[in-house]
Chains A and B, each alone.
Chain A
Amino acid sequence: DVKVTQSSRYLVKRTGEKVFLECVQDMDHENMFWYRQDPGLGLRLIYFSYDVKMKEKGDIPEGYSVSREKKERFSLILESASTNQTSMYLCASSLVSQETQYFGPGTRLLVL
């Protein structure tokens, strides 16, 4: 079974802090994704990566950056956290494009 893990289930941070969210998949998937999920807005794509060191902006990349130094690990970075980044963050991976996406359990981030 594919397993996607996220480093934290819950995080509380202060405004202005640098925040790292990590995601690891164990099935040698090419593609990895970061989404945020907000009530009434659904899931929105922040960034995705189709190979090591490759990244593409999604629909809402402002205020975020990503890093993929190894195939199995995809990190989301909030350079200076703000209250409007309080959200549920979901990581996903897929073997190749147009294939099933597998999701991690999510990280609920609260920025105070």
Chain B
Amino acid sequence: KQEVTQIPAALSVPEGENLVLNCSFTDSAIYNLQWFRQDPGKGLTSLLLIQSSQREQTSGRLNASLDKSSGRSTLYIAASQPGDSATYLCAVGRTYKYIFGTGTRLKVLA
């Protein structure tokens, strides 16, 4: 059974710092991995989708990498800003289903 873990559960950093969020999964037979952002009380916003054949995806200050063999993905955020404060979730996909991690709650201090 696929399990997805995100460590740490919470993180506080000063503005301007580069940071890395981690996601690990137990079954490497995945179709893709997706990173989401969730603001308090809101739905999820898709940030990046990495297909299983890809190693990384970039969007602006965000870069996500995927290493299927080791069951790991990282989300790199460059030059963090207070507006980046949110919960970040990763989800691994297989056929129609996604299995979600419980997220990392990020706070960027001004």
Contact = CB atoms under 8 A, between A and B. Distances in A.
Contacts of B51: 98
A102 interface: yes
B98 A101 contact: yes
Given A106-B42, A106-B43, A41 B102 contact: yes
A98 B93 contact: yes
Interface in B45-73: 45-46, 49, 51
B7 to A, nearest CB: 14
A97 B96 contact: yes
Contacts, number: 55
B41 A102 contact: no
Interface in A23-65: 31, 40-45, 48, 50, 56, 58
A108 interface: yes
Contact of A108 (B41, B46, B91, B93): B41
Contacts of A98: 31-32, 51, 93, 95
B95 to A, nearest CB: 6
B100 interface: yes
B89 interface: yes
Contact of B49 (A40, A99, A103): A99
Contacts of A45: 97-98
B44 A103 contact: yes
A40 B103 CA distance: 9
Interface string A60-103: 00000000000000000000000000000010100001111111
Contacts of B100: 42-44
